[in-house]
Every structure is written in C-alpha cells, then in structure tokens.
Structure 1
Amino acid sequence: MGPTTNGATHDYQLLKNEFDVNLGLLDLFELLADLGYLGLVADYDLPPVSLPHRKPRRSKKCPVAALTDAQRAANGAHARRRVKVEHAISGAKRLGCVAQTYRNKSNSFNDRIMAIACGIWNWHLTQKKTNLI
C-alpha cells in the first residue's frame, strides 16, 4: 500500500507507480482484484490472479453475449471474497476526516489519518467480536 493521493487517479495506475514491474514483489502474494486491474497479469507476468470473468461483447458471430452458469457462479464466489475488503474500506471511511476533503499541507499526516482510521475500525471489529461471545 502506497501513500495516500488526492484527485481522480485510477488504482491500477497508482499500483504501477508504486511497484516496479521487475522487482517481483507481487509474486509473494495471492492477488484478488476486480476488473479495473485487467492488465495486471500481462504487465507484471504474474501467476494467475483472481479476476472475475468479463461478459463477452456482442458481435455478429455471438449475438447473445452472456456468461455461462459456471462463470456466474465463479463471479459470485469472487464477489463474496471481495466484499470483505470493500466493507473494511467503508469502515475506515466512517471516520469523517478520511471521507471528506482534507486540507492539511503535510503529506505525512495524510497517511497517519488513514492509519488511525484503520486502527479505529479494527478496534471496533474486535470490540464487536468480544461483545458477541
């Protein structure tokens, strides 16, 4: 995970800026990505990355473009795994200063705010678990 950035920069572009293709750092992890990272396998020469199946384009040869039942089931399983990540991101954004426009000039403080928000969310999850027992 790299430093926080502002503006409308795509996540895959941030990943390419942060991790050099030749370092092989991404080979150490099991990658679970969405369709925004389609070029990941080709650019980084990785083992298979868990990506959902794309719906094929309609054409004259294939007028009915749809996923097979097996592909739909695989996409559902992929979504069930990814939803945990999306919930963690939204949990960190519950701290208002993470989700709103931040006007501090210090770049190092941006990362601290995100680390604090993630820590509070993790603490909330542990408290929620202990109260259920």
Structure 2
Amino acid sequence: MERIVPRDKWLYNDRGMMKWMGWLLSDHSAFMEGEKNKENLQPILPQMGVVDISDRLQQAWESADYVSIQLNVLNHDNFVPELVGVVVGFDAGRIYLQMDSGETKLLRVEEIRSVIPVREDKWWNDDK
C-alpha cells in the first residue's frame, strides 16, 4: 500500500536527498584520496646511467616498441607515475614519447631515472 500526500499538504518542506549529500561527499572524498595515494606510490627503480638510457631509448625508437619511463621527479616525496608510450623522435638530448591517448610528451634525457621495455601482448598470441 502506498500513501501519497500532495506536496501542499506536507507539514514541512522535505529536501529529499539533499540532506545526505554531505555524507556522500565526504565518503567520496575519502575514497578519492585513498585512490590518489595508491596511484602515487611508485616502486623506486634503480638509477640507470645516461649511456644505458640512451641505448634503450634508441633501441625502442628503431623497433617502435613501447617503453616505460620513470622520471627523476618527486611529488610529495614519491616518484611521479611512470610514462608508457612509444619513442617517436629525439632532438638534442630530448625525446618525444607518444602515449596511448595520442598525447606527445617532450622529455629531457637528464630527467629520466629508468627505461624498461614493455612487452606488447599480441592478440594472435592469446591462448584463451
């Protein structure tokens, strides 16, 4: 049984879900802060030499392979998230990294801490 009372006969003006918005917002903010902290925690990779970094970047550029690059940049005492993409160019100690989103990042080789080749899983190798 449903009891529907016309709005003009209400004893007070009910705000509906507005009264819960503070609770929802604070929980959502706490969740988002936790996710941000998880995102920021990057494993610290060993510092590579400039020659090793240059060799790996050149090899990735020649074969158009994906690489994961960790920068020597700290944000709130944690390393910034790794950049994954394809090396599409270089010029005077700078490289151009194209991300999956289509965005191209310009990085200086001096900023790079580590370069790791990323193995691409080909759809034709999938055994599912």
TM norm. shorter chain > 0.5 = no
Q: TM-score, normalised by structure 1?
A: 0.23
Which structure's residues are more often helix, by fraction? 1
More contact order relative to length (CA 8 Å, sep ≥ 6):
2
Which structure's residues are more often strand, by fraction? 2
